[in-house]
Chain A
Amino acid sequence: MSASPDQGLVERATRNEPEAVTELFAAIRPGVVRYCRARLGRIGGAYTSADDVAQEVCLAVFRALPRYRDRGRPFAAFVFAVAANKVADAQRSAMRTASAVVAVDDPPERTDPAPGPEDRALNADLAQRLSAYLCLLPERQREILVLRIAVGLSADEVGEVLGMSAPHVRVAQSRALARLRALASDSFDRGFGEVVT
C-alpha cells in the first residue's frame, strides 16, 4: 500500500471539490493516525491523545489545502511534515504539564476475541517493548522506521518526505533494524521472563 495519495486527487481536493476532499482524507487518515500513535505511544494506557493529535494534523492539512501547491514533492511529504510538527508540539506540552503517564504495563482492554487473551497480552507486550526501543534510536532512524512500518511508505517515498535519497534511506533503515535487534537480544540475554512479567 502507498500512503501517498495520487496527485490528481490532491489537485481536485485543493480545488475544494467535496468528494475529492473526502477521498483524500480517507486516504491519508489511517497513516496519520498510525504515525501519531507510533510517535507518541500510549498515554495513560490508550492512544486517545495520539488520536487527538492525529485529528489536529488532519485539520491542519485540510486548512492548508487551499494554499497547497505541488512543488514536485509528494503530498505525503507535506502531510507528515505537518504531522511531525504537531507531534513535537504535543510532546512539548506533555513535558510542560508532566501529566502524560506512560503506562507500559497497562494494555487496553479489547473486546474483539480474535486473538486469544494470551496472544494479545504477548502482542501488547512486544509492542510496548518495541516502542521503548524505538525511543533509543537516533531521531532520523526512528522517523524512517515509523514512516516505513507505521505509515507504510516505501523507501523511495520516505526519501522524498525526509529529503534523502532512497539508497540512503535503505542504509539507514538497516542500521536502525540492526540496532533494534541488538537491543532486543540484549534484553533477551538478560532474561526475557523478567521483562515480561
Chain B
Amino acid sequence: MNADDDRLLDALARGDAEPSADSLAPMLAAWREDIAADLPDFTLDAPPPAPRRFRLAIAAALVLVAAASLGFLAANASPDSPLWPLTRLLAPEHAAEELADRNAETLLEDARRALAEGDVAEVRRLLSELEGLIPTLTDEVHRDHLVSQVLELRGQLPPVEQEPTEQPELMATPPPPTDEPDESDPTTKPKGPKPPIPTPEDGADDEQGDEGKDPEPPVPTLPGAGWPGEGWSGEGWSGEDLPVTLPGMPDTPSK
C-alpha cells in the first residue's frame, strides 16, 4: 500500500501517471497538469536581471545615502550656501536661527559703519535694535559676543547729557565746548544741525539715542559754542532710562 502510493506519487511528480485502477489517480494527474500548465516567464530567468537588480538596489541605497547627507548638510547650511533653499525647506527653525544671527551681524556692522561716519543717532538706533534681537538668538557664544560688542560700541558713543544741573561733568568728554564741532573726533560730532541742548529734563543718560532723535554732543553746557541751538528741544529722549543697565559708560571721562 505504502509502496504503491509512493510509486503513484513518483509517477505523478514526473507528470506521467500511468492509468491505474486508483480512482484518485486521474484527479491527481489533472491537478498536476493544471498547475504545471502555462508556466510564466520570470524576468529573473534572464541572466542579467539578477546582477541588475543588485545594481539597482545599490543605486537606490546610494541615492538614499546621498539624500541623507544632503539633508544633514542642508540642516547646517548658512544663507550663503547653495543648499540654503533646502535648509529652509528641511530645517526651518535652523534657517530662522541662521537668519537671526545674520541679522544681528548686519546690524552690528551697520552700527560700526555709522559710528565711523559719526552718525551717532543711527548708531544708537541700530544698537537698540540689535539689543532687541540678541535675546532671540539661540547660540550663546554668539549672543555673548554680540553683547560685548554692543557694550564696546556704546562705550565709544558720546554720552547723552542731561540734567545739566546735576551732572555737568558728564557731558564734557569729547569736544571741548570751545571747539568748533568739526575738530572734535568725528564720532562725537553731532551730525545734523541739531543743537546740543542740555536741557533734557530727566536725567536720562547717554545711552539710547532715543527714537531717532539725536544724541547730541556732549557739550550741552555751552550751547553757544558751535551749534545752532535753535529749534531743538530735546523732548524726544526724555524718557530714557536704559543707561542704567550699561556699565562702563563713557560719561565720566571728562572728569
- The verdict on B67 contacting chain A, using a C-beta distance below 8 Å, is no
A-chain residues with CB within 8 Å of residue B36 when the two chains form the complex: 30, 34, 150
Listed stretches B41-49, B175-183, B200-208, B214-222; interface member: B41-49
- The verdict on B31 contacting chain A, using a C-beta distance below 8 Å, is yes
Say yes or no: A174 contacts B50, CB within 8 Å: no
B153 to chain A, nearest CB (A): 66
Assuming the A-B contacts A19-B47, A171-B2, A177-B5, are A127 and B13 also in contact, with contact meaning beta carbons closer than 8 angstroms in the complex?
A: no
Say yes or no: B2 contacts A174, CB within 8 Å: yes
- The verdict on B141 contacting chain A, using a C-beta distance below 8 Å, is no
Say yes or no: A18 contacts B50, CB within 8 Å: yes
Interface majority SS on A: helix, strand, loop or mixed?
helix
A60 to chain B, nearest CB (A): 11
In the assembled complex, the Cα of A190 lies from the Cα of B32 at a distance in Å of: 25
Across the interface, name the chain B residue whose C-beta is closest to A148.
B9
- The verdict on A180 contacting chain B, using a C-beta distance below 8 Å, is yes
Across the interface, name the chain A residue whose C-beta is closest to B22.
A181
Say yes or no: A123 contacts B30, CB within 8 Å: yes
In the assembled complex, the Cα of A29 lies from the Cα of B49 at a distance in Å of: 15
Assuming the A-B contacts A130-B30, A180-B24, are A174 and B1 also in contact, with contact meaning beta carbons closer than 8 angstroms in the complex?
A: yes
B-chain residues with CB within 8 Å of residue A59 when the two chains form the complex: 44, 53
Say yes or no: A184 contacts B6, CB within 8 Å: no
**For chain B residues 34-63, which have a beta carbon within 8 Å of chain A?**
34-40, 42, 44-48, 50-51, 53
A-chain residues with CB within 8 Å of residue B14 when the two chains form the complex: 1, 152
A-chain residues with CB within 8 Å of residue B6 when the two chains form the complex: 155, 170, 173-174
Across the interface, name the chain B residue whose C-beta is closest to A107.
B34
Listed stretches A20-28, A72-80, A95-103; interface member: A20-28
Give how many B residues have a beta carbon under 8 Å from the other chain's beta carbons. 36
A-chain residues with CB within 8 Å of residue B8 when the two chains form the complex: 177
Across the interface, name the chain B residue whose C-beta is closest to A35.
B35
B50 to chain A, nearest CB (A): 5
Say yes or no: A173 contacts B5, CB within 8 Å: yes
B218 to chain A, nearest CB (A): 82
- The verdict on B245 contacting chain A, using a C-beta distance below 8 Å, is no
Interface string of B179-206 (1 = CB under 8 A from A): 0000000000000000000000000000
Say yes or no: A22 contacts B35, CB within 8 Å: no
Say yes or no: A29 contacts B27, CB within 8 Å: no
In the assembled complex, the Cα of A22 lies from the Cα of B13 at a distance in Å of: 24
Assuming the A-B contacts A148-B13, A149-B12, are A170 and B31 also in contact, with contact meaning beta carbons closer than 8 angstroms in the complex?
A: no
In the assembled complex, the Cα of A153 lies from the Cα of B37 at a distance in Å of: 18
- The verdict on B109 contacting chain A, using a C-beta distance below 8 Å, is no
B-chain residues with CB within 8 Å of residue A149 when the two chains form the complex: 9, 12-13, 28, 31-32
Assuming the A-B contacts A38-B35, A55-B42, A55-B44, are A127 and B24 also in contact, with contact meaning beta carbons closer than 8 angstroms in the complex?
A: no
Interface residues of B (CB under 8 A from A): 1-2, 5-6, 8-10, 12-14, 22-24, 26-28, 30-40, 42, 44-48, 50-51, 53
6 tightest A-B CB contacts, nearest first: A127-B34, A126-B30, A152-B13, A37-B35, A130-B31, A123-B30
12 A-B pairs within 8 Å (CB atoms) are namely A22-B50, A33-B40, A34-B32, A54-B42, A123-B34, A124-B34, A126-B26, A127-B31, A149-B31, A154-B10, A170-B5, A184-B27
